[in-house]
Amino acid sequence: MNQNLQKTWKNDDELFHIIRNELYTAVIGDIMDVLGYMNQFLPPQLRPLTEGDFIVGRAMTVVEADIVSQSSVNNTALNKPFGLMLEALDDLKKNEIYVCTGASPTYALWGELMSVRAKYLGAAGAIVDGYSRDTNGIRAVGFPVFSYGCYAQDQAPRGKVIDYRVPLSIKGVRVCPGDILVGDIDGVCVVPQEIENEVFKRAIEKARGERTVLQSLQEGMAAKAAFEKYKIM
């Protein structure tokens, strides 16, 4: 693999365009394995709500907690109907992904109206460590959502957002604000900011190399010969 690869993008818009058009989670995950980052995939239960959805953006992390009381003496945020959820939603920026964890998987963490607001703000999608609801409405909005699936039970009397834009962990995978998330039919991977340039430079090279290998295999080259020539399989 070429160690002197040049970055070919100037900003997030250009990088995310390349990712959407040339990359996929498998090749990105392979590169992170090579670099020693071997625990970067979120749990496989997280699936695209709409078949074919692809998501890429920077993490806007959100922490939710189950609640048994609708008020608190010590934390005034818990006196609000959704805790800090509305503030977190309104704080979304262009190309950011609302990433939520912390709740038990017994109610929905995302819905149609949240999708409408997030899309208006230019957000790239939502990834929730739990369920989503208002499925037909979300699909009509055309907003990418990755969740455990569809479940209508509301979060309002069961959970509240207690913080956002803080580091969090989803089933042992660390996600920090600003990390790049990429999701497709094969899963969701987390690319830490400190290695993002190296990961994507190498992933682009590998993906382009894989297309060459694919053509050679289609033309009848043996798998062993293809691997010996290209070092890709």
Q: Are residues 186 and 198 in the same domain?
A: no
Which residue ranges of the chain lie beneath pLDDT 70? 1-5, 73, 213-214, 221, 226, 230, 232-233
Q: Is residue 42 assigned to a domain?
A: no
**Counted domains in the chain:** 2
Q: Are residues 181 and 213 in the same domain?
A: no
pLDDT value for 183: 98
For residue 173, give the nearest of 47, 48, 32, 67 by alpha carbon: 32
Q: Is residue 97 assigned to a domain?
A: yes
Q: With pLDDT > 90 as the criterion, what percentage of the chain qualifies?
A: 77
Q: Are residues 148 and 220 in the same domain?
A: no
pLDDT digits (tens, 9 = 90+) for 191-231: 999 999 999 999 999 998 777 766 777 878 687 876 777 67
State which residues form the domain around 32: 12-37+194-230
The DSSP code sequence of the chain is --TTPPP--SSHHHHHHHHHHH--HHHHHHHHHHTT----BPPTT-EESSTT--EEEEEEEEEEEE-S-S--SS-GGGGSTTBTHHHHHHT--TTEEEEEE-S-TTSEEE-HHHHHHHHHTT--EEEESSEE--HHHHHHHT--EEES-B----STTTEEEEEESS-EEETTEEE-TT-EEEEETTEEEEE-GGGHHHHHHHHHHHHHHHHHHHHHHHTT--HHHHHHHH---
pLDDT value for 232: 67
- The tokens 């009381």 sit on which residue? 69
Q: Is residue 77 assigned to a domain?
A: yes
Q: Is residue 1 assigned to a domain?
A: no
pLDDT value for 76: 75
Q: Are residues 198 and 170 in the same domain?
A: no
pLDDT value for 118: 98
Q: Are residues 183 and 208 in the same domain?
A: no
pLDDT value for 4: 59
pLDDT value for 166: 98
Q: Are residues 68 and 121 in the same domain?
A: yes
Q: What is the CATH number of the domain that holds 91?
A: 3.50.30.40
Q: Are residues 115 and 155 in the same domain?
A: yes
- Residues with Cβ within 8 Å of residue 95, at least 6 apart in sequence: 12, 13, 16, 57, 58, 122, 123, 124
Q: Are residues 65 and 163 in the same domain?
A: yes
Q: What is the pTM of this model?
A: 0.90
Q: Is residue 2 assigned to a domain?
A: no
Q: Are residues 16 and 54 in the same domain?
A: no
pLDDT digits (tens, 9 = 90+) for 131-150: 999 999 999 999 999 999 99
Q: Is residue 5 assigned to a domain?
A: no
